[in-house]
Amino acid sequence: MQRQTIAELSRQLQDGSVKSRDLVERCLTAIEGPGRQLNAFVSVCGEQALVAADAADELLKAGRAGPLTGIPFAHKDIFCTTEVATTCGSRMLEGYVSPFDATAVARLREAGVVLVGKTNMDEFAMGSSTETSYFGPTGNPWDLHRSPGGSSGGSAAAVAAGLVPAASGTDTGGSIRQPAALTGITGFKPTYGRVSRYGMVAFASSLDQAGTLTLTAQDAAMLMEAMAGFDPRDSTSVDRPVPVYTDELNTSLAGKRVGVPREFFDEGLDPDNEQRVREAIAVLEGQGAKVVEVSLPNLGLSVPTYYIVAPAECSSNLSRFDGVRYGHRHQGAADLESLYKLTRKEGFGAEVKRRIMTGAYVLSAGYYDAYYLKAQQVRQLISEDFKRCFAEVDILAGPTTPTPAFLLGEKTDDPVQMYLNDIYTIGVNLAGLPGISVPCGLVQGLPVGLQLIGPHFGDTAVLNFAHVYQQQTQWHCLMPAPTGTPDAADNAGGAS
């Protein structure tokens, strides 16, 4: 399927040159056809999607449509939906259908998007490769033997392969930005609290944030205008006016200051990846931005800090899955305690169990002060490092990942190596900042990403920097061939 941006499709829908039903049928055909080899979707809403598309076409015909009306869309399978099951990539929730929609789902539906299916993900968002999914791993459309990243790997692969023009994701430690980088698309994580978490199954409540996976920053801005905003049902939602994000695009970078943290360019960064990122930063400099080196001295502590805070919160959040109220239930348990134990043994995969046990340990009597309390103190130091930087610069720039996409199975036997794939993204979540990954080149025929980070509620600046960069380059236009290898005919990228 030929990829087109939301902005392009919206113009075609508005002028009547294409119908929503045609777009949805194309998506469904691609998902059920060549898209099957990716394993990007865990469920497809065929009939419901066509009904919604017909309704969208009626609104378009009557001149009562918005910019997102009729756009096919996919949700990561962590958002509760009444139309189709919400599994979180786990046996624990296999077949579970929510009685309500997540706020992000409801708002996008109200804006007119058409849900075509739910995408694969690491189990309960715990992973960086989609390999912890109960439904099997997703392949990277650039090379089916490689990972698309995670936990939002299914959404990223679906957008990169052109199965849908856009999809939702969640980012707890880089789970939108990392898969976006590894699949060559745009992944946006808003400021914490900007998009409601209501109906988004919780992993780590102080870190989780809903966001978007799109082809361009402009598309992300269009979606944010529908998704963002205060929600009284979410205690972490911020009551703050939502800007018209698209109005802020194309703002000049002249005089803006881009900070380049020296800690991002460490010995773990692939040299070719570093070269692509430095070339991308030079493009921003060519648009009038001033590039300065800055330091985030505590950034190296972000991974161990995250892997104390996140498991602690997940051990609490996942205690609700006990076989009593909903989800998987062991059959034939002799008593209530056995029901709990056997249900959780059967329902959870190895990585989820590892994190639950780690979290329970660091929260236990005698270890809370030594681990969890200390991690929260270090988290504050990391946040203060970012604040000091943003007193000097408007945006931070660096790599999204240390390397291009890794082989499926390459890191599964070494959880620490898997965790280190998020080394450049985790600090953003610990500090609650907005961040975006945009494609900035190829390394060994595989895409890599430039990460841009803004201060709290600097979402508009992040999107604008990304948009200006994409106006000057063509890396976001690269598309993997259907075989999963780059097609030279489609991949004439770089600065224009």
Tokens of 119: 């995408």
Q: Please report the beta strands in 235-332, taking only residues with DSSP state E, as ranges in sequence order.
A: 257-261, 290-294
Q: Which residues of the chain have pLDDT under 50?
A: 483-496
Catalytic-role residue among 10, 19, 43, 76: 76
Residue 106 has, within 13 A of its CA and on its CB side, a CA count of: 16
227: domain range? Answer: 6-298+380-477
Q: Is residue 282 assigned to a domain?
A: yes
Buried-exposed string 396-420: b where 16+ CB fall within 10 A, e elsewhere: bbbbbbbbbbbebebbbeebeebbb
pLDDT one-digit tens code per residue, 397-451:
999 999 999 999 999 988 888 988 899 999 999 999 999 999 999 999 999 999 9
Q: Is residue 135 assigned to a domain?
A: yes
Q: Is residue 25 assigned to a domain?
A: yes
pLDDT one-digit tens code per residue, 319-378:
999 999 889 999 999 999 999 999 999 999 999 999 999 999 999 988 999 999 999 999
Residue 122: give its domain's CATH number: 3.90.1300.10
Angstrom distance (rounded) from CA 226 to CA 491: 32
Q: Is residue 495 assigned to a domain?
A: no
Instruction: Please provide residue 432's backbone torsions phi and psi, each rounded to the nearest 5 degrees.
Output: 75, 30
Catalytic-role residue among 175, 237, 315, 437: 175
Whether 302 is catalytic is no
How many domains does the chain fold into? 1
Q: Is residue 354 assigned to a domain?
A: no
Residue 493: predicted pLDDT? 41
Whether 387 is catalytic is no
Q: Is residue 412 assigned to a domain?
A: yes
Q: What is the pTM of this model?
A: 0.96
Strand order in the sheet with 114-119: 41-44, 114-119, 72-76, 167-170, 210-214, 186-189, 435-443, 446-453, 395-399, 257-261, 290-294
- Cα–Cα distance list, 444 to 108, 162, 194, 404, 494 (Å): 37, 22, 37, 8, 15
Residue 1: predicted pLDDT? 53
Report whether 211 contacts 466 (CB < 8 A): no
Whether 437 is catalytic is no
Catalytic-role residue among 151, 155, 237, 302: 151
Residue 112 has, within 13 A of its CA and on its CB side, a CA count of: 23
Q: Is residue 64 assigned to a domain?
A: yes
